[in-house]
Amino acid sequence: TTSSSSNDAGTTYGTSVRYYISSTNNSIYSGFASTPSVFASLDSDYHDVQVSNVNAVSTTSFTTVVASSRTGGIQSKTIRWVAIGEAS
């Protein structure tokens, strides 16, 4: 679940990504021989929400960045994800 507060980037990157939340998900999976591919989506009823990035992927954690033009689209929302890779 995303945080109940978000960051304001202003209009530097455009109005569609004004508000964002970066979340690191530690020790939530295991058993990969190498870094897996991770894909994520956000459960939201706002049409302009996006998972902007999945980065800092390791064999046990990853970071997601979600963004929207409105805070209600990204705050306290469920992130669904899948990690695909070779088993150790």
pTM of this structure: 0.80
- Give tens-digit pLDDT for 23-53: 888 878 888 999 999 999 999 888 888 887 8
Q: What is the greatest pairwise CA distance in the chain?
A: 44
Q: What's the confidence (pLDDT) of residue 39?
A: 93
Averaged pLDDT score across all residues of the chain: 88
What letters, b where the CB count within 10 A reaches 16 and e where it falls short, cover 26-43?
A: eeebeebeeebebebebe
Contact 82, 7 (CB under 8 A): no
Residue 9 confidence (pLDDT) above 80: yes
Contact 53, 34 (CB under 8 A): no
Question: 2: pLDDT confidence band, cut at 50, 70 and 90?
Answer: confident
